[in-house]
Homo-oligomer: A and B are copies of this chain.
Amino acid sequence: MSDNKDNSLELLFKPRNVAIFEAKDKISYFIEGFKVQGFNLDNLYLISPTIENLFDIKCYKSFDDIPSDSIDLLILSVRRESLVGSLKEILKKKKINFVHIFTAGTGESDEIGVKIESQLQEILKENGVTRAIGPNCMGIYCPSGKNAYYPSFPTETGNVGLIFQSGDLHSKMIKFGSRNYNLKFSKGVSVGNCMDLQTSDFLQDFNNDDETDLICVYFEGFSSLHEKEGKKLLYALKNMKIPVLFMRGGRSKRGQTAVLTHTGSMATRRNIWNAIYKQTPIIEVPPSLDELIDYANIFYNIINRFKKREKTVIYPENERALVVLWSGGFGILATDTLTELGIEMPYFQGKTLEKLKKIYPGVVGSLANPLDLPWITQTNTFLEVCVAAIDENIDLVIIETDAWSDMESEGFKAYYNNLVKIKEHTETLNKIFIIILHQYPSESRNAFYNKLVKDDFLVYPTIERAAKSFLAAQEYGKKKKRFNLK
């Protein structure tokens, strides 16, 4: 087997064989994850001095018994007191390309833990081949490499890459993102305390990865073992060719003290980060997983929409919205919310207004932006009014919709057909089309929501979440221009 001297992380995400030490029932989710993803179980080596068999997979007594001399990925889960000795011993016996150090209670806990990490680092330096993620991390998710650390992760592959300094947030991003918005992922890594491989390493790797078109990062801070990581990270961020949604934990001072007990990282000051956001093409995400997933939703939708048409991705550069309503009151709130967030709502003027009056010569008042058209949504007039209103002054079209009790009715079909046509028209003009479907527990609501998501509509539960996500995409559109990105 070839080694990983070329610095590629290919074998970490797509290991040809994997060893788990020490295999035990408590960490069975790793084994189940490989199983669900369809990993060849002949190449999954479980090592345990005490257990014969786990999930119908034979356990080896020791590394000596494993049929391969080289292992692409070792998942190391031992008590922290045994970490240093175990790793030393294993490296003497086998060539290990990557080690995922699962064990927690190291650098984030106390001085003893900090020392363990520095000893682990020494071992890797001496070895010269093996690279590590962790300690204190959940590991790898890569459906095209047939691995996942939880059996509940989707088996379908996508083009979102994840680099997370929290295993739990990493898992929730995958679960919530896939179930709420049908997001799919290329590669995900929970990096933990970053004793060896850093966030910057993964950024550089994903930046040159054909499978990844969007990166989401959750970052807490630098390991004290890596003094130059700040410069390295800045360099990596400056050179990103694909969008990076960057969420930082420990943005507040109080949050920084919490970071210390989580990954033991050294947090950095807010003003430094503000400068980084200015100097690099990355997009700052507030400290909210929901917001990160919301932002990822619009980027994912835009990227894959253009990819399908084999075209270069075009992001919005301006922020002018047309809002089409189901109800008047919602329109007022939408207007307030959009305006207060900095999104314009142009009035209809000139040719557009004349066209609208011709198509729908009703009460003049309703031909305003927001467009209040609840009674004609199933007619061709609705489609014509919307198409006419989407002129050169509009970057974003938002349609508020509502649940339908009967999705088999002719009325629903006519309405849905209108939505599909407005979507296609908007997207042909390289504008953004968003549907708002408010959420509360209801079967008909869920059914409609799932249909919309399945048909590649960009759907949000509230106007505010839609607007913030749009503004993130538009910020990237402006940055793309400023940083001369293709």
The residues of A with any CB-CB pair to B shorter than 8 Å are 105, 108-110, 164-170, 172, 175-176, 179-180, 218, 220, 247, 249-255, 257-263, 287-290, 326-333, 335-337, 339-340, 345, 363-366, 368, 370, 372, 438-442, 446, 450, 462-464
Contact = CB atoms under 8 A, between A and B. Distances in A.
Contacts of A446: 441
20 contacts: A108-B365, A166-B327, A168-B326, A170-B329, A175-B440, A176-B440, A179-B442, A218-B329, A220-B332, A249-B332, A252-B339, A253-B339, A255-B333, A255-B335, A259-B332, A262-B329, A262-B331, A287-B336, A288-B333, A441-B450
A249 B438 contact: no
Given A166-B332, A441-B450, 20 more contacts: A167-B329, A168-B329, A169-B333, A179-B440, A180-B440, A250-B332, A252-B335, A252-B336, A254-B336, A254-B339, A254-B345, A255-B332, A255-B333, A258-B370, A262-B328, A262-B331, A288-B463, A288-B464, A289-B330, A289-B438
Contacts of A262: 328-329, 331-332, 372
A245 to B, nearest CB: 14
A289 B253 CA distance: 32
Oligomer copy total: 2
Contacts of A442: 179
A290 B439 CA distance: 10
Contact of A251 (B340, B363, B439): B340
Chain A to chain B: the 6 pairs with minimum beta-carbon distance, closest first: A166-B329, A168-B327, A249-B332, A169-B329, A287-B336, A252-B339
Contacts of A108: 365
Contacts of A440: 175-176, 179-180
A441 B178 CA distance: 10
A250 B339 CA distance: 10
Q: Which of A249, A261, A287, A333 gathers the greatest number of chain B CB atoms within 10 Å?
A: A333
Contacts of A366: 261
Given A169-B327, A254-B345, A328-B168, A462 B336 contact: no
B368 A261 contact: yes
Given A168-B327, A330-B168, A438-B172, A255 B220 contact: no
B287 A372 contact: no
Contacts of A363: 105, 109-110
Contacts of A450: 441
Contacts of A339: 252-255
Q: Which of A167, A287, A326, A438 gathers the greatest number of chain B CB atoms within 10 Å?
A: A287
A252 B340 contact: yes
A135 to B, nearest CB: 14
A365 B261 contact: yes
A259 to B, nearest CB: 6
Contacts of A329: 164-170, 218, 249, 262
Q: Which of A109, A170, A262, A288 gathers the greatest number of chain B CB atoms within 10 Å?
A: A262
Contacts of A253: 339
Nearest to A181: B440
A188 to B, nearest CB: 14
A287 B165 contact: no
Contacts of A327: 166-169, 172
Nearest to A344: B254
